[in-house]
Amino acid sequence: MNKYFIKAQDFETFVTKLVEAKQVIGPVAKKSRFVFEKLKNSKELRLDYDVTVLPPKKEFFPTCQPIVKFEGDKFEGCVNVEEKILFGVHFYDIKALDMTDLLYNENHRDINYMAHREAATIVGSNVQNIAERAFFGTVGVHVKPKGHDAFLTKIDDGYLFETYTDKGEALVSFGTFTKAKKEHESNALDVNNRVMGKCPEVLDYVGYESVANKVRKAFNNTAFWEDCAKDCFSCGSCNIVCPTCYCFDVQDNWNVDQVSGTRTRKWDGCLTEDFAKISLGFGAQENFREKRGDRFRHRIMRKTTYLNAKLGGPACVGCGRCSMSCTSDIADPVNVINKIMEV
């Protein structure tokens, strides 16, 4: 739609006004890391964050979400949809949200996710600091971020603010914006291009189709996968922090009265031991990914191969969250893919 410029000294007032008028979710500091949280004031906003612990998906689908309240035979949905502005989302997370939008919208449409998603305004921001394990510069680079409403790029003396939708355009009234000049635009383009070459980690093979083919060929190399997963705790951290993962588990819990209760869904991950444990009826069970290596392979297949046709690229945006969250430091897709490509 339009391109605006806002001076550095006017930016805080803009955010203050937004926070006063709307529910604004942005990156804030938490101990040594960052998380997306509801902003109480503009000072909390940390657009210089590197990466958040959990992806912004949690704003549309909280990690532990009560979905139904029941009382005897009566039940009622209990998801309250609120309008939110997600402020300061990095481009790789915008790409990932675009993927989860598609995945939650197809087949059995996830009404709870979609309702939140549709009520949200997403404002991107450029990556000012790069996470220590990021590799977004070499994975799925042909897949462009889309689905957001506006994008903010920090340039020398202020910010370029690009709007793409009416929702994005509506934010302009909260600040002192002027029409962007050509040099603001070219500066911003330069800032966003440059960051792509600065990732600490690099996939040696950028053609995602050749990666997918090679990974698929490695499927039956059980020894390789077992070796990758030797130190795996089956903790599922690599799944839970991943912005493109979308699995969950649903359980019912009764209150003390034994009549009323809540149905809750929680983020789940395929690396955990019981994820693929299924009932065969008559009390019998089977686990179709029983070994650590089987589960480790499954995630890599999902991130590099299985979803490519649907998404038009790999289901990994190179945020580096999985690598950071893995206590054994074995989850890094860069290491696994580079190793597979070597053989």
Partner 1 sequence: MSKPKVGFFDFASCEGCQIELTNYGDAAFVELLNHIDIVEFREAMTETAEHLTIACIEGSFTREADRGRLENIRERSDIVIAYGACASTAGVNALKNHQKDFRKDVYGEDRNMPHLYSNDRAVPISEVIKVDYNVYGCPMDKYEFLDIVSHLVHGKEPVIPNHPVCIECKHNETICRYFEGDHCLGPVARAGCRAPCPADGIPCEACRGFVDNPNEEAMEKVLIKKGKLPEARAKHKSRIFTAFCRSDA
- Cβ atoms < 10 Å from Cβ of 12: 14
Number of chain residues interacting with ligand SF4 (CB under 6 A):
35
Binding mask 224-263 for ligand SF4 (x = CB under 6 A): --------xxxxxxxx-xxxxxxx----------------
| Residue 244 interaction partner, one of ligand SF4, partner 1, none, beta carbon < 5-8 Å per kind | ligand SF4
Q: Which is nearer to partner 1, 266 or 310 (CB)?
A: 266
> Residues 232, 269: contact at Cβ < 8 Å?
no
Under the binding rule (CB under 8 A), the answer on residue 236 touching partner 1 is yes
Question: Residue 53 CB, nearest distance to partner 1 (Å)?
Answer: 5
Name residues contacting ligand SF4, limited to 300-319 (CB under 6 A): 302-303, 316-319
Which of 41, 63, 178, 222 is the binder for partner 1 (CB under 8 A)?
63
Under the binding rule (CB under 6 A), the answer on residue 326 touching ligand SF4 is yes
CA dist list (Å): 129 to 44, 90, 195, 275, 299: 17, 11, 9, 35, 27
Question: Residue 86: which residues within 8 A CB-CB, separation 6 or more?
Answer: 25, 26, 36, 56, 59, 120, 121, 122, 123
Among 15, 115, 20, 128, CA closest to 59: 115
Which residue in this structure is represented by tokens 């990556």?
A: 127
Under the binding rule (CB under 8 A), the answer on residue 38 touching partner 1 is no
Q: Is 113 helix (H, G, I), strand (E, B) or coil?
A: helix
Under the binding rule (CB under 6 A), the answer on residue 293 touching ligand SF4 is no
Q: Which is nearer to ligand SF4, 42 or 323 (CB)?
A: 323
Which of 10, 185, 273, 294 is the binder for partner 1 (CB under 8 A)?
273
Radius of gyration in angstroms for the set of CA atoms belonging to the chain, rounded to a whole number: 22
Binding footprint of ligand SF4 on the chain (CB under 6 A):
232-239, 241-247, 269-271, 299, 302-303, 316-322, 325-328, 330-331, 333
